[in-house]
Structure 1
Amino acid sequence: MPLAHISLRAGKPEAYRQAIFDGLYRALRETFDVPEDDQFMTITEHDAASFRYSPSYFGVARSDDLVLIQITVSNTRTVAQKKALFGRIAAALGESPGLRPEDVFVNLVEVAKENWSFGHGLAQYA
């Protein structure tokens, strides 16, 4: 049950944003075995004054097309799965909407399975 928050500079067309959703979901399905229809994602757009990043941190040459992706997941995946996810997200978003891999920033937030409620006020995994 990933929960994804995506941030980017304002001004991209709807098709661009939908391609990010689709590529991220495809990468999660392929590397984290996310079930079909398990899609919980938001995109937040920011004007230039509200979107700050380092154009060179860690030796990565970023541009204003940078997309910040934070995914909350259960703490059940291996390091190999995480590496596969990062690579697959960059590749998928390179295919469509055409993002450079340098402009794909991903952060995973891991939580215990009992920290999820999918509705009805229940802790379905607990």
Structure 2
Amino acid sequence: MPFTRISLRQHHMENHLCQLSAILQQTLFEEFAVPEHDCFQIFEILPDSQFIFNRRYLSRMRSEKFILFHMVAGKPRSREQKKNFYRVLSERLFTQCGIPSDDLMVIMQFNSADEWSFSGGKMYCPEELC
């Protein structure tokens, strides 16, 4: 049940956003054990003056295409799952969108099921915990 905020600069086209969303969702499903229809994403499209980043911090060189994925997920993943997710997402964004791996940053945070309410004002409770 990840929630992902995708921050990027204004120059990305609308059809590009749909492609980013589809690539992220496919990678979550295949590499992160996310149910197929579990999709919660927000695109945060910012003017250059509101999306400030260091072009070289722990990277060869970031460009104007830089994208930040900030994910919050309720179920912890193994180190191997995280490594595979980062790699596959980066490969797909490059081959399908031309986004270099240096222009991709992913932040993952994990929390517990009781920190989610999907609807109805009810705390989420997976069957094995209820």
Q: Is the shorter-chain TM-score for this pair beyond 0.5, marking a shared fold?
A: yes
Identity %: 26
Alignment match, 1:112: 112
TM-score between the two structures when normalised by the length of structure 2: 0.91
* Superposition misfits of 4+ residues, deviation over 4 angstroms: none
Alignment match, 1:44: 44
Alignment match, 1:91: 91
1:105 CA displacement: 0.5
1:12 to 2:16 alignment: no
- What RMSD over aligned residues (CA atoms) do the two structures have, in Å? 1.2
CA-to-partner distance for each residue in 1:59-117, whole Å, 9 max, x for gaps?
A: 43111100000010024211111111111111121122221111011000111122111
Q: 2:4–2:69: 8 Å Cα contact kept in structure 1? A: yes
CA-to-partner distance for each residue in 1:4-61, whole Å, 9 max, x for gaps?
A: 0000000221111111101111110011111111110010111111111111001431
Give the paired residue count: 126
For the residue of structure 2 that corresponds to 1:35, the secondary structure is: coil
Residue segments in structure 2 that go unaligned for 5+ positions in a row: none
Residue segments in structure 1 that go unaligned for 5+ positions in a row: none
